[in-house]
Structure 1
Amino acid sequence: MDRGDLVIKSIALNKELEAILAPYSNNTEFISHIRAPLAVEGRVLGTSSDNNHWPLLPLYVAQSINGEWTHALPFAAAMQFMLTAADIFDDLEDDDNILTGFTGLSKPVRMNIGSTLILLAYAAFARMNNLVSYQIFHSALETLTGYFIQSSSGQHEDLSGSLSSCFDETAYIAHIQKTSASQIQCACHIGAILSTDDPGVIASFADFGKYVGTALQLCNDIRDITTGKDICGKKVTLPVIFARNGSLHDQSNYIDYIYDARTPVTDDPEPVKRVLFQSGGVHYTLLQAQKFIHLAVDQLESLRPSKVNISLLSPFLNMAGFNE
């Protein structure tokens, strides 16, 4: 990824956000609370060079299709507002501040900030009204709303506990494609809607985003097993599912015991981590992530070279865990 191009796009997206926030800048305390979660790692105002590429994904998708990307700036800003709002509500539902880093703010204040970010997302989206046709604008807005309702449905599954003891791989993949992976799919799908009227290209980019998002979540699963985070949280992810469904009876019984709701949460994740690595669960998850990346590449390679510049998107494949 060309560093100069990355900087240009980052500055342009930051300016877009500032333009949206400008009418409310007289309320400095309120705006400072709005800015704070937008500046955490991986969000648009964050400083991490490794994770700060993802907010620019819609711009690179647009450029890869028709060579232009400025028309997608309002949508990229809207995505950041929506995703940050989702982070706030996720923290509130989990009774923590892991995603947003908020400290010292009451729950009602955080809820108000989250609600405001959703309104700002639609204000950002409205700025695209003069950049594309009404038909494209309406299609993109309908698609955006659909993805976030789908994600909320998946979050409901988490909150209701309907998947907490589910050791079915197919159900788990379907769940992450409904939730975390749908964010990447949304960015790619709408980036394409804004940049071409070719339904084949739009569909290919939607599937590209779904597969990249799935691979990214599977790599996150490996990371959170390695750090012990998901083990201490008794979160059932693909490495756990593979280990539990393996051929070793004692291993399956051990996983059932550890992840049973009646079993106390462990303070030492190392024994569970050893089982997940020795069972092949972590390695299997890595292979599945690579499989989904290959599926993503296949989606774009099925298009004629004149339809898309794949090279612009290859850095996102690497960031999702694919290095070949």
Structure 2
Amino acid sequence: MPATTVPTQLTTPDTPIHAVVAEDFAAVNRTIQTQLASRIPLVEAIGQYIVDSGGKRMRPLLVLLAARSLGYEGDQHVALATLIEFMHTSTLLHDDVVDESHMRRGRATANDAWGNAPSVLVGDFLYSRSFQMMVGVGSMRIMEILSAATCTIAEGEVQQLTNVGNPDVDEAAYFETIQGKTAMLFEAASHCGAIIADATPEQEAALQAYGRYLGLAFQLVDDLLDYRGDADTMGKNVGDDLAEGKPTLPLIQAMVTGSPEQAKVIRQAIRQGGLERLDEVLAIVHDTGALDYTQRRAEEMSAKALAQLEVLPPSVFRDSMEQLAHRAVDRRT
């Protein structure tokens, strides 16, 4: 079990995209430390372990960039970015329990280190803390958006769970699922960043859509990398989705374009779960062009995200948002 000592400072992703809001990120890190405080040491230990696990921090980044791109000069965007990171972190804790995961970002999951019950309960704590912070932000519209987002995210996770082992899930159902479980929080992050900066209705709608399309692109590439990446670069193993029986787009497309025999192999692999047929499935998703198709769909979503930024004035923050949309589809991790 990892030690329960809480580090005094979180790491900030070291990229040019993050650099333009480096001071804001430092403030977010300080706020995370403050808001993780609990009279129960295990809450702090698990919360810190997952928050400081080396993630890209894309959702709080979206809040900061969206607000700054519209000239926001206050400090409420820091609390907003922090509480959205807490919401995301709580879903990671819950997801790893549901998926019975043992590795995330190259190290043991919290449930693997401490057990399922503490992970679920600390996830609940972080959700609750995020709503406490929401009250402090003092925007009824933001509360409406984020409370609705949490319901949509939960529905998306349940929908994904019901899809497990079902080879009849089609592309439309797949997109509905990833919109809920992944893209919704991206969308809420950029949308709330716009609201706190008093965006015009046009800018608000555009930044909401930007987050949605960025989140879809991000998840599409995640699902692509499950059949193309490796544990050293991704922090998880190739075929993890297949092992869980998840019908993601590479498998869905391979069944559509492959031969009846190839489709049969994939259908059986989805129903059974596990990795017994991983080599066969990997060959099929490559041979049918399903991975290239998934990449193209991700690039379509990225292009749609980029188009939304035309309503913003030129700035280094808008430039970073453009880079983020490109990075979402060019990454290898």
Aligned partner of 2:246 in structure 1 is 235
Equivalents in 1 of 2:227, 2:32: separation in Å? 35
Equivalents in 2 of 1:222, 1:189: separation in Å? 27
How far the C-alpha of 1:313 sits from its partner, in A, is: 0.8
Equivalents in 1 of 2:250, 2:279: separation in Å? 15
- Is 1:251 paired with 2:262? yes
- Is 1:83 paired with 2:92? no
Equivalents in 1 of 2:18, 2:182: separation in Å? 27
> Which is worse superposed, 161-170 or 268-277?
161-170
How far the C-alpha of 1:171 sits from its partner, in A, is: 1.7
Equivalents in 1 of 2:273, 2:44: separation in Å? 42
Equivalents in 2 of 1:264, 1:52: separation in Å? 31
Q: Which runs of 5+ in 2 are unaligned?
A: 1-15, 229-237
SS in 2 for 1:253: helix
RMSD (Å), alpha carbons: 2.5
> Which is worse superposed, 227-236 or 167-176?
227-236
Aligned partner of 1:310 in structure 2 is 318
> Which is worse superposed, 285-294 or 107-116?
107-116
Q: Name which of 270, 276, 282 aligns with 2:279.
A: 270
Q: Name which of 300, 303, 306 aligns with 2:309.
A: 300
Aligned partner of 1:198 in structure 2 is 200
> TM-score, normalization: structure 1?
0.84
Equivalents in 1 of 2:166, 2:277: separation in Å? 21
- 2:59 and 2:189 in contact (8 A); partners too: no
Q: What one-letter code is carried by the residue in structure 1 that aligns with 2:279?
A: E
How far the C-alpha of 1:205 sits from its partner, in A, is: 0.9
Report 1 or 2 for greater relative contact order, CA contacts < 8 Å, sequence distance ≥ 6: 2
- Is 1:14 paired with 2:29? yes
How far the C-alpha of 1:208 sits from its partner, in A, is: 0.9
Q: Name which of 171, 174, 184 aligns with 1:172.
A: 174
How far the C-alpha of 1:244 sits from its partner, in A, is: 0.3
Q: Cα deviations across residues 237-280 of structure 1 (Å, max 9, x unaligned)?
A: 11111110116333223322322x2x463335222111101100
Q: Name which of 57, 60, 79 aligns with 1:55.
A: 60
Equivalents in 2 of 1:4, 1:295: separation in Å? 25
Number of residues of Structure 1 aligned to a counterpart in Structure 2: 303
Q: Cα deviations across residues 273-305 of structure 1 (Å, max 9, x unaligned)?
A: 11101100000000110011111111222x263
Equivalents in 1 of 2:315, 2:113: separation in Å? 50
> TM-score, normalization: structure 2?
0.82
SS in 2 for 1:225: coil
How far the C-alpha of 1:4 sits from its partner, in A, is: 4.6
Equivalents in 2 of 1:251, 1:5: separation in Å? 48
- Is 1:35 paired with 2:44? no
The 3 A distance-change label for structure 1 pair 20 and 269 is: same
Aligned partner of 2:122 in structure 1 is 113
Equivalents in 1 of 2:268, 2:111: separation in Å? 35
Equivalents in 1 of 2:33, 2:88: separation in Å? 17
The 3 A distance-change label for structure 1 pair 64 and 225 is: same
The 3 A distance-change label for structure 1 pair 163 and 139 is: farther
Q: Name which of 96, 101, 107 aligns with 1:96.
A: 101
How far the C-alpha of 1:170 sits from its partner, in A, is: 1.6
Q: Cα deviations across residues 189-227 of structure 1 (Å, max 9, x unaligned)?
A: 111111124111111111111111101101001111122
SS in 1 for 2:329: coil
SS in 1 for 2:20: helix
Equivalents in 2 of 1:87, 1:264: separation in Å? 22
- 1:66 and 1:196 in contact (8 A); partners too: no
Equivalents in 1 of 2:64, 2:74: separation in Å? 5
How far the C-alpha of 1:83 sits from its partner, in A, is: 1.1
- 2:242 and 2:273 in contact (8 A); partners too: no
- Is 1:289 paired with 2:298? yes
How far the C-alpha of 1:320 sits from its partner, in A, is: 0.8
Q: Which runs of 5+ in 1 are unaligned?
A: 43-50, 130-136
Equivalents in 2 of 1:198, 1:170: separation in Å? 32
How far the C-alpha of 1:116 sits from its partner, in A, is: 1.1
Equivalents in 1 of 2:274, 2:19: separation in Å? 47
- 2:221 and 2:329 in contact (8 A); partners too: yes
